[in-house]
Amino acid sequence: MSYTGPDFEPSQPRRSPLRRALTVAVAALVPGALLGWGVYAAVGGPGEGDGGGSGRAGGAGTPAAPSSGAPASGAPASSPGDGDGKKPAGSSPAPTSKAPSASGPALPASGPLTGKVVVIDPGHNPANFQHASEINRKVNVGTHWKECDTTGTATNAGWPEAKFTLDVAHRLRTLLQEQGATVKLTQDGDRSFGPCVDERARIGNEAKADAAISIHADGSGAGNRGFHVIMPGSVHDGAADTRAIVAPSAELGERVAGAFVRVTGTAPSNYLGDGTGLVTRTDLGGLNLSTVPKVFIECGNMRDRTDAALLTSGSWRQKAAQGMSEGIVSFLRG
Ligand code: ZN
| Ligand 1 ion local residues (Cβ < 5 A) | 49-50, 123, 152, 216
pLDDT the model gives residue 144: 95
> If you measure from the C-alpha of residue 153 to the centroid of ligand 1, how many angstroms do you get, rounded to a whole number?
7
What is the reported pLDDT for 163?
97
Kindly report the CA angle at 127 between 126 and 128, in degrees rounded to 5? 100
Does the pTM surpass 0.85? The reply is: no
Ligand 1 centre and the CA of 133: distance in Å?
A: 19
How far, in Å, is the centroid of ligand 1 from the Cα of 109? Answer: 31
Span 124-177, pLDDT tens digits? 999 999 999 999 999 999 999 999 999 999 999 999 999 999 999 999 999 999
List residues bridging with 216 in a β-sheet.
298
Helix axes 314-333, 161-178, angle to 10 degrees: 50
* 53 close to 132: Cβ distance less than 8 angstroms: no
| 129 CA to centre of ligand 1 in angstroms | 13
298 a catalytic residue: yes
Q: How many CB atoms lie within 10 A of CB 114?
A: 12
Alpha helices in 71-196 (DSSP H): 99-103, 132-136, 161-178
Q: Please state, in angstroms and rounded to a whole number, the distance separating the CA atoms of residues 327 and 163.
A: 23
What is the CATH superfamily name and number for domain 17-41+112-333?
Answer: Zn-dependent exopeptidases (3.40.630.40)
| Residue 41 to residue 111: CA distance in whole angstroms | 43
Q: How many CB atoms lie within 10 A of CB 333?
A: 11
CA of 63 to the centre of ligand 1 (A): 21
The sign of the dihedral angle between the CA atoms of 159, 161, 163, 169 is: positive
The answer to whether residue 53 scores a pLDDT higher than 50 is no
- Catalytic residue from among 161, 199, 298, 326: 298
Task: Report yes or no: 321 and 175 within 8 Å, Cβ to Cβ.
Answer: yes
292, 233 contact by CB (below 8 A): no
pLDDT of residue 108: 60
| Strand, coil or helix: 213 | strand
Tens-digit pLDDT profile for residues 188-228: 999 999 999 999 999 999 999 999 999 999 999 999 999 99
Task: Report the C-alpha gap between 93 and 221 in whole angstroms.
Answer: 30
Bridge pairing between strands 138-140 and 236-237: unpaired
The identity of residue 291, as a single letter, is T
Output the CA 215–ligand 1 centroid distance in Å: 7
**CA 243 – ligand 1 centroid, Å:** 24
